[in-house]
A = this chain, B = another copy of it.
Amino acid sequence: EEEKGEDDGELDNQWSNEPQSRHPALLCNQEKPFNAEPPPAILTGDFHTPNDLFYVRNHLPVPPRVDPKEYRLEIAKETGIGEGVEPIELSLEEIKAFPVTSISAVVQCGGNRRHSMASYKPVRGLSWKGGAIGNARWTGVRLCDVLKHVGVSGGNYGGIKHVQFEGLDADAMGSCYSASIPIETAMDPNRDVLLVFQMNGEDIPIDHGYPLRVIVPGAVGARSVKWVSRIVLSTEESPSIWQRRDYKLFPSNVDINNVDYESSEAMQDMPVQSAICLPIPGSTVDISSGFVTLRGYAWSGGGRSISRVDVSINGGKDWSVAKLHSNESQKPNRVWAWSLWEATVPVSACTGQLDIVCKAMDSSCNTQPENVESIWNFRGLANNAWHRVSVKTANNI
Contact = CB atoms under 8 A, between A and B. Distances in A.
B184 A333 contact: yes
Work out how many copies of this chain go into the complex. 2
A307 interface: yes
A269 B365 contact: yes
B269 A364 contact: yes
Interface residues of A, number: 47
Given A188-B333, A253-B319, A269-B304, A370 B367 contact: no
Contact of A363 (B268, B300, B364): B268
A381 B188 CA distance: 31
A249 B184 contact: no
A366 to B, nearest CB: 4
Contact of A251 (B249, B264, B308, B366): B308
A215 interface: no
A148 to B, nearest CB: 15
A312 to B, nearest CB: 11
Interface in A183-205: 184-185, 188, 190-191
A271 B368 CA distance: 11
A313 interface: no
Contact of A364 (B191, B301, B365, B367): B301
Given A268-B363, A269-B304, A269-B363, 4 more contacts: A185-B332, A249-B361, A300-B364, A365-B381
8 contacts: A182-B332, A184-B331, A188-B333, A191-B333, A253-B319, A270-B364, A300-B364, A370-B371
